[in-house]
Amino acid sequence: MRNLFIYLLAGLASFTARAQGTQFIQSLSDQGFENVASVSRGKNLFITYENNLYRFEAKGLANILMQLSEIDLSGYELIHFLLRSKDIPMAVGSVSVEDLRAFNSGLMDRYALAAKMQFSIQVDKIEAYFKEAERLNSSFYKIDIPVGVRLDYLLGDFNDGLQTRTYVNSRVLSTFGQGAEFEFDFLNIVQNDIPGRAISSPVTMKVTQSARFGQNTFLSASLGYLPQGKFGILARFRNYLAEERFYLELIYGINRTGYLDENWIVQNNRNSDAVYQAIFNYRWNKYDTDLKLTYGTFFLNDLGYKFEIQRQFNEVYFSLFYSRTDLKSAGSFNSEEDALIGFSLTVPFGQSKFFKPGRIRARTEDQFYLLYRYSGFSYSGIDINYGNDIFSDIREFYPEVLRKGLMKHLKP
Amino acid sequence: MKYILPCCLFVLGILNLKAQSLEGTNGLFKIPSAYVAPDGNSYLGASFYPKGKYELYNNGDRFTGMPTFITLSLYDRIEFMFRYTHQLGQEVNPQTQYFPDRMFTLRYNALKEGRNNPAITIGLHDVSEALGGTTATPWFLATYLVASKTLKTKTLSIAPTVGYAYDLIEANRNQVFNGLFAGVELTYSQLPYITLVGEYDSESFNIALKTTVLGHLHFAVGLLDMRALSGFFTYRFNLSNR
């Protein structure tokens, strides 16, 4: 009789904990997390979600962990998270209920909790659990309007030592299927003292389909008016090895050069070109550093290579590069090989937490980007701008970036 | 009364962290030291060279120089600096053919300071052309080896530095660190936020006083060649979690 009473009590506690888990999923959805679902398997609770609420992925996860540490999870031993982007599964993280309790009671600090968590970009097994799960708060058919600032500048003109052009850009982003996205980007010039053609006009109007296949392989294909005045198609294929440590990327595109004028009429429509690149990247996790070697054609179809070392500090990226390309290979220039060095800096911009996603939402852009090329008059080795796709913020899902981000954003 | 000293120490910065120099890299007053700040430490700063101490495009000694710089430490070993220097009062136009100088500096800390050994760093000052910049103007090009060691007693911290600059890459004109340079930083333990500097920069002797405020702001004022007033300030911020 006594044993039966104990079993009943344990069963009731487990039922209560599972009910709490269901309420928690609803709460995440109400807060604005999207594509939320949960599944139980024995003493494991699996939660999937997409964060379009916080600018930085680790901050979103930290927020969820802090909420989770405050509810009764007595029926579970392990909680697993499957993080999504454009509804594509990107990374998994696991934490034990015991560690969450210790964190909540102050027995474990944020560094220890983040260090004990398990992360991986291998998602296939856990994604399979959610095949039949009901999703709350779909991210599809919503419109995001990020507004930001961009800056062009020119140094070295003897008539005017520092010439600048400032844009306020407004983008329209909408996901309408798993990995399927529409992007529109309008640049509005608000200040300009750089000579030459410059008009406020659309600079991107494209649809992109991104997908993830087995063995950590990603593919994205964009079609339409691509950034940098290109009309055509651009495809990217990337395969990761040993988690995020290595990747090989192949890029191929066919496009024509031109632009939309202020009346949205295509101008300067010329030169059908094939664009191709091969990229090999090694990730030094201890210091969140990418060592990247690119070979292929660059913005002006100049053939050559570029070596880049990029250090990531959570949301800040600092990059040093050296490139050598043959501008003559592009066919329109007389110069021979041209080498240059430079650096770039990407810093977070605007809100760190956005408004709750709705049918239409205005928000600030995620980042501000500054590029310095030592020889600004050379067109050699300019990077291809791919626009928004699955790779745009993929580094936020890297296991070590999530871990270090949690160390910063978890609060007792 | 018992709170006054701690409060003062807090305001002035309890730790007198290794700071930058007039040149923008980690150093004493003008000369570089072998120390490299921990990973993620970044410095935004500006310095002031009086007339006669900063020359560009053979403009003689008519202008003062104001380098502005951003310096970033990576991997606890590497220091990267980008510097943009104006000659104050000089006009940018086709007649003067003057344009402010841009330069990169890279430093690699080959040996960390140990109990019995100094820190040793290799410096590549203004190396843009050597690395492939096509319109580079390496007016301040220098390559050097430098060693630093901090010795502490109960009352004093003594940090001597000695280095040698050599022509690994040919320069337009050597204006910095041409040959032997050396210096020493002295910090009294009761005044840890103030450091006295004496140095020989391979051309002249300089003295300076450096201080740290709130752990992030560094100021220095000194005399180049023991007579020309000069100085700098930097703001330090940390990009890493550590």
A260-270 tens-digit pLDDT: 888 888 888 78
Interchain contact A370–B (C-beta under 8 A): no
Highest mean pLDDT among A44-48, A374-378, B85-89: A44-48
Place of tokens 């050097």: B144
Identify the weakest region by mean pLDDT among A170-174, A321-325, A372-376.
A372-376
Query: Cβ contact (<8 Å) for A338 and B135?
Result: no
Identify the weakest region by mean pLDDT among A140-144, A145-149, A329-333, A385-389.
A329-333
Interchain contact B179–A (C-beta under 8 A): no
B198, B222 in Cβ contact below 8 A? no
**DSSP state, residue A398:** S
**DSSP state, residue A395:** G
- The runs of H, that is alpha helices, within A310-398 are none
Q: In terms of Cα–Cα distance, which of A296, A302, A346 is closest to A325? A: A302
Q: In terms of Cα–Cα distance, which of A207, A173, A179, A183 is closest to A90? A: A179
pLDDT at A3: 57
Rounded to a whole number of angstroms, the distance from the CA of A49 to the nearest CA of chain B is 26
- Phi, psi (deg, nearest 5) at residue A325: -135, 165
- The enclosing domain of B120 has a CATH number of 2.40.160.40
B73, B40 in Cβ contact below 8 A? yes
For residues A153 and A5, which has the higher predicted lDDT (pLDDT)?
A153
B172-196 tens-digit pLDDT: 555 678 889 999 999 998 888 899 9
Q: Using a CB-CB distance cutoff of 8 angstroms, which residues of chain A are in contact with residue B96?
A: 158
Has residue B110 got a pLDDT over 80? yes
What six digits make up the tokens of A250? 């192949």
pLDDT at B107: 95
What six digits make up the tokens of A71? 């509810």
Place of tokens 């410095």: B43
Place of tokens 């399927």: A180
Q: Mean pLDDT throughout B131-157?
A: 79
- What type of residue is B144? Y
| Percent of chain A whose predicted confidence (pLDDT) is above 70 | 92
Query: Cβ contact (<8 Å) for A374 and B94?
Result: no
A355/A84 Cα distance (integer angstroms)? 19
Query: Cβ contact (<8 Å) for B133 and A341?
Result: yes
Which element (helix H / strand E) includes A332? Answer: none
Query: Cβ contact (<8 Å) for A313 and B94?
Result: no
Q: How many CB atoms lie within 10 A of CB B94?
A: 9
Handedness of CA A61, A66, A68, A73 (dihedral sign): positive
B135, A377 in Cβ contact below 8 A? yes
A344/A151 Cα distance (integer angstroms)? 13
Q: Nearest chain B Cα to A342, which residue?
A: B133
Q: Which domains does chain A have, with CATH numbers?
A: 2-138 (3.30.300), 143-389 (2.40.160)
Interchain contact A307–B (C-beta under 8 A): no
A43, A77 in Cβ contact below 8 A? yes
> Mutate which of A159, A313, A317 to test chain B, going by most B C-beta atoms within 10 A?
A313
Has residue B4 got a pLDDT over 60? no
Query: Cβ contact (<8 Å) for B94 and A372?
Result: no
What six digits make up the tokens of B219? 């100021």
Q: Which of B74, B131, B134 sits opposite A311 (nearest CB)?
A: B74
pLDDT at B16: 45
pLDDT at A300: 86
pLDDT at A212: 96
Question: Which is it for strands B78-88 and B64-74: parallel, antiparallel or unpaired?
Answer: antiparallel
CA distances to A233, A249, A279 from A252, rounded to whole Å, are: 8, 10, 12
CB within 8 Å of B119: residues ≥ 6 apart: B33, B34, B35, B36, B109, B111, B112, B113, B147, B148, B149
Look up the domain containing B213 and give its range.
4-238
Interchain contact A182–B (C-beta under 8 A): no
Rounded to a whole number of angstroms, the distance from the CA of B129 to the nearest CA of chain A is 9
Query: Cβ contact (<8 Å) for A159 and B94?
Result: yes
Mean pLDDT of chain B: 84
CB within 8 Å of B194: residues ≥ 6 apart: B16, B187, B188, B209, B210, B211
Mean pLDDT of chain A: 90
Interchain contact A347–B (C-beta under 8 A): no
Rounded to a whole number of angstroms, the distance from the CA of A158 to the nearest CA of chain B is 4
Has residue B14 got a pLDDT over 60? no
pLDDT at A87: 96
For residues B198 and B51, which has the higher predicted lDDT (pLDDT)?
B198
pLDDT at B59: 62
The answer to whether the predicted template modeling score (pTM) of the entire model surpasses 0.80 is yes
Q: In terms of Cα–Cα distance, which of A200, A183, A203 is closest to A192? A: A200
pLDDT at B84: 87
pLDDT at A251: 97
Interchain contact A371–B (C-beta under 8 A): no
pLDDT at A329: 65
Rounded to a whole number of angstroms, the distance from the CA of B65 to the nearest CA of chain A is 16
Interchain contact B188–A (C-beta under 8 A): no
For residues B149 and A328, which has the higher predicted lDDT (pLDDT)?
B149
Q: What is the DSSP string of A138-177?
A: --TT-EEEEEEEEEEEEE--SS-SEEEEEEEEEEEEEEEE
Has residue A109 got a pLDDT over 70? yes
Number of domains in chain B: 1
Q: How many CB atoms lie within 10 A of CB B181?
A: 24
Q: Nearest chain B Cα to A161, which residue?
A: B92
A252/A271 Cα distance (integer angstroms)? 16
Residue B169's pLDDT band (boundaries 50, 70, 90)? low
A271, A299 in Cβ contact below 8 A? no
Residue B100's pLDDT band (boundaries 50, 70, 90)? confident
What six digits make up the tokens of B167? 């022509």
A277, A302 in Cβ contact below 8 A? no
Which element (helix H / strand E) includes A280? Answer: strand A266-284
Has residue A119 got a pLDDT over 50? yes
Q: Mean pLDDT throughout A323-342?
A: 72
Place of tokens 């030094």: A284
Interchain contact A374–B (C-beta under 8 A): yes
What six digits make up the tokens of A176? 């309408």
What six digits make up the tokens of A371? 């590029």
Residue A20's pLDDT band (boundaries 50, 70, 90)? low
Q: In terms of Cα–Cα distance, which of B84, B77, B176, B80 is closest to B119? A: B77
Provide the 3-class DSSP secondary structure of residue A389.
coil
Q: Using a CB-CB distance cutoff of 8 angstroms, which residues of chain A are in contact with residue B131?
A: 322, 341
Q: Mean pLDDT throughout A309-326?
A: 92
CA B71 from centroid of its chain's CA atoms: 10
Three-state DSSP string of chain B: CCCHHHHHHHHHCCCCCCCECCCCCEECCCCECCCCCCCCEEEEEEEEECCCCCCCCCCCCCCEEEEEEEEEEECCCEEEEEEEEEEECCCCCCCCCCCCEEEEEEEEEEECCCCCCCEEEEEEECCHHHHCCCCCCCCCCEEEEEEECCEECCCEEEEEEEEEEECCCCCCCCCCCCEEEEEEEEEECCCCCEEEEEEECCCCEEEEEEEEECCCEEEEEEEECCCEEEEEEEEEEECCCC
Q: In terms of Cα–Cα distance, which of B137, B107, B43, B71 is closest to A374? A: B137
Interchain contact A155–B (C-beta under 8 A): yes
Residue B134's pLDDT band (boundaries 50, 70, 90)? very low
Quote helix, strand, coil % in chain A, to nearest 5: 20, 50, 30
A57, A88 in Cβ contact below 8 A? no
Q: Which of A158, A289, A314 sits opposite B97 (nearest CB)?
A: A158
Interchain contact A407–B (C-beta under 8 A): yes
Which element (helix H / strand E) includes A346? Answer: strand A337-348
B242, B223 in Cβ contact below 8 A? no
- Phi, psi (deg, nearest 5) at residue A6: -65, -45
Query: Cβ contact (<8 Å) for B128 and A341?
Result: yes
A50/A352 Cα distance (integer angstroms)? 16
